[in-house]
Amino acid sequence: MFLNAVFAAASLLAAVCHVDALWPLPRSLSEGTSALRLSYGFHITLPPDIASPPLDLIEAVARTQAYLFTDNLGRLVVGRGASDVSAFETAPYLPELTLSLAPGSTVLSITAEAQKPLGERDEAYTLTVPSNGSAASITATSTLGLFRGLTTFGQLWYEYDGTIYAINTPLEVEDSPAYPYRGLLLDTARNYFPVSDLLRQLDAMSMVKINQFHWHVVDSQSFALQIPGYEELAEYGAYSPQMIYSASDVVEIVSYAGARGIDVLVEIDTPGHTAAIGDAHPDFVACNLARPWADYAAEPPAGQLRMANKTVAEWTAGLFSAVAEMFPSTIVSTGGDEVNTYCYQEDPETQAILKASDSTLEEALNTFVMGTHGALLKAGKTPAVWEEMVLDYNLTLSNETLVLVWISSEDVQAVAEKGFRVIHAASNYFYLDCGAGEWIGDDPSGNSWCDPFKTWQYTYTFDPLANLTTEQYPLIMGGQQNLWTEQSSPSNLDPIVWPRAASSAEVFWSGAGGNLTAALPRLHDVSFRMQQRGINSIPLQPLWAVQDFAVVLDAHV
């Protein structure tokens, strides 16, 4: 009775109902309108010609199989799938999904594939789901491709009254990402997040094929990373002994990420944003906790490594060598944003060194960065930096350096003109923390510096290639959304990030120009499926709009 009544009201809208929840949208997709049921005996078959399948592939298959029967996502229409019964009750059963690697493929783990250099990550796959009850199949030339295919396969299914079913078969997907780098930055220095929160973000990231976790692990507020040989940094710089990422935590996080097709790019921001290093090594830090802080730093507390000091520079290079050993990724960021020159001008020790060596601050910075980057290059890593390192200073950086643009998307052109590879991370499109009010000071009318809130819609309209020449296009590696955590903690992590961070995930997988109106119902599905998996993703609209309407509700509808 309940359902019938609502159906009557909703029947007018049936024509606009969406039929699938794939996110990011595959680059090539052909789908039918036939229903298909998942057999109770459904199973996924590993590639038959691999003698010893990688453990993380075996686990990914097991996870996929489990999610198929535990997601229990009711379709986001009135009745949550009751109207599909007539379509699926006589539908064939899908007995099997077969995975296969193309002949001649080198068999590595998902982890090893995900941790390859940017240009070498093979994420392509094809997925075929017949509507007649024949086995579905995923083929790829790497285990990472197979894993991406499994993720797509997992998004096809809804549940109603115990039946797991799809409604868009036969389906053919041929897919690979538009950009090799699709990331999410989480700052664990302004506020601390337990390992479990990070693992949950990795689960969510992998659901939308994000492949890069940019871990902004330390900053001036705290230094929570336990680095072998440099344990004093966390011992003195963490918020508390309980708020430390131990070396074994790092192993767990990197491993969990890798198994989900995610590489972990760690950032040790230098030479700015390093007051927390001063907790263990006060002599290494200029303007340490200096006040008024606003003269010395963009955000309290002030404190920057005495980069002109040879001991400090060598120590920092050694630190990066140690960090490079902890993280298998080929990319490590040395940071480099917001270096405050006044801090160094007012630091007698720095001024004495510069005078003695007849050097400029820029020359000292170059020597310092050559030291840290040299350590990384020696360890086989590609350094990444924030945009100031190439736009504000004339440093002798390798052209292989990855440059993250954060201040404004308008700066991308200048970075590309210098010939550097670009990661889009600009505050005006990709900052998840904007719009939550100013946290510094007692000005009651203060708003966040990067107001307004960046809606998923706004991020979704980003064009990664805007204002670039076709010659510059290959420099664009992809992009990431960023959560800076001045006002975040485990209490609000998931709701701030999800489902919004899925927005850039689609832009950089599927390419620019996606249709907002068509994306909305798919993104509803992403959010609700995340909730089913224990991620506190938020609703983008009232449930009425989600399940009764499922279209963009502009004033003309």
Site residues (CB under 8 A) for a copy of itself, limited to 279-308: 279-280, 289, 291-294, 300-301
- Footprint (CB under 8 A) of a copy of itself, residues 185-224: 189-192, 220-222
Nearer to a copy of itself, 161 or 358 (CB): 161
> What's the rounded Cα separation, in Å, for the pair 510 and 25?
6
For the bound state, the minimum distance from the C-beta of residue 193 to a copy of itself, rounded and expressed in Å, comes to: 11
Q: Which of 174, 232, 235, 338 is catalytic?
A: 338
- Footprint (CB under 8 A) of a copy of itself, residues 233-252: 235-236, 238-241
Which listed residue (461, 511, 532, 533) binds a copy of itself by CB under 8 A? 461
- Footprint (CB under 8 A) of a copy of itself, residues 76-135: 80
For the bound state, the minimum distance from the C-beta of residue 407 to a copy of itself, rounded and expressed in Å, comes to: 20
Nearer to a copy of itself, 474 or 534 (CB): 534
- Footprint (CB under 8 A) of a copy of itself, residues 45-84: 80
Q: How many CB atoms lie within 10 A of CB 112?
A: 17
- Footprint (CB under 8 A) of a copy of itself, residues 217-236: 220-222, 235-236
What distances in angstroms separate CA 103 from CA 9, 50, 140, 154, one per listed residue?
54, 10, 10, 25
Nearer to a copy of itself, 192 or 344 (CB): 192
Closest CA to 166 of 81, 40, 78, 229: 81
> What's the rounded Cα separation, in Å, for the pair 403 and 423?
6
554 binds a copy of itself (CB under 8 A): yes
In 104-150, which ranges are E strands?
Answer: 125-129, 136-140
Between 476 and 495, how does the x/- string for binding to a copy of itself read (CB under 8 A)? ---------xxxxxxxx-xx
Q: Is 338 a known active-site residue?
A: yes
What distances in angstroms separate CA 115 from CA 211, 262, 354, 398, 505, one per listed residue?
9, 7, 40, 21, 18
- Footprint (CB under 8 A) of a copy of itself, residues 492-521: 492, 494-495, 516-517, 520
Nearer to a copy of itself, 419 or 490 (CB): 490
For the bound state, the minimum distance from the C-beta of residue 403 to a copy of itself, rounded and expressed in Å, comes to: 26
Of 311-319, 349-357, 396-404, 458-466, the segment contacting a copy of itself by CB under 8 A is 458-466
User: Are 59 and 8 in contact, with CB atoms under 8 Å apart?
Assistant: no
> What's the rounded Cα separation, in Å, for the pair 216 and 335?
9
> What's the rounded Cα separation, in Å, for the pair 501 and 508?
11
Q: How many CB atoms lie within 10 A of CB 236?
A: 15
Of 18-26, 183-191, 198-206, 472-480, the segment contacting a copy of itself by CB under 8 A is 183-191
- Footprint (CB under 8 A) of a copy of itself, residues 8-37: 9, 12
For the bound state, the minimum distance from the C-beta of residue 20 to a copy of itself, rounded and expressed in Å, comes to: 19
> What's the rounded Cα separation, in Å, for the pair 490 and 464?
31
For the bound state, the minimum distance from the C-beta of residue 292 to a copy of itself, rounded and expressed in Å, comes to: 5
> What's the rounded Cα separation, in Å, for the pair 152 and 449?
38
161 binds a copy of itself (CB under 8 A): no
Tokens of 365: 């910075």
- Footprint (CB under 8 A) of a copy of itself, residues 418-457: 435-448, 451-457
Q: How many CB atoms lie within 10 A of CB 244?
A: 21
- Footprint (CB under 8 A) of a copy of itself, residues 255-284: 278-280
Closest CA to 38 of 77, 71, 3: 71
358 binds a copy of itself (CB under 8 A): no
User: Are 84 and 160 in contact, with CB atoms under 8 Å apart?
Assistant: yes
For the bound state, the minimum distance from the C-beta of residue 259 to a copy of itself, rounded and expressed in Å, comes to: 26
For the bound state, the minimum distance from the C-beta of residue 15 to a copy of itself, rounded and expressed in Å, comes to: 13
39 binds a copy of itself (CB under 8 A): no
536 binds a copy of itself (CB under 8 A): yes
Q: Where on the phi/psi map is residue 531: left (φ > 0), alpha (ψ -120 to 50), or beta?
A: alpha
Write the CB contacts of 263 (distance below 8 Å, at least 6 apart in sequence): 114, 115, 211, 212, 213, 257, 329, 330, 331
Q: Is the dihedral of CA 509, 515, 518, 523 positive or negative?
A: positive
CA dihedral 89, 90, 95, 99 (to 10 degrees): -90
Q: How many chain residues bind a copy of itself (CB under 8 A)? A: 87
Nearer to a copy of itself, 174 or 232 (CB): 232
Tokens of 352: 């004495």
User: Are 270 and 263 in contact, with CB atoms under 8 Å apart?
Assistant: no
> What's the rounded Cα separation, in Å, for the pair 73 and 20?
12
Nearer to a copy of itself, 169 or 191 (CB): 191
User: Are 214 and 181 in contact, with CB atoms under 8 Å apart?
Assistant: no
Nearer to a copy of itself, 157 or 429 (CB): 429
Nearer to a copy of itself, 404 or 507 (CB): 507
List the alpha helices (DSSP H) in 379-471: 388-391, 412-417, 427-430, 456-460
Which residue numbers are catalytic? 338
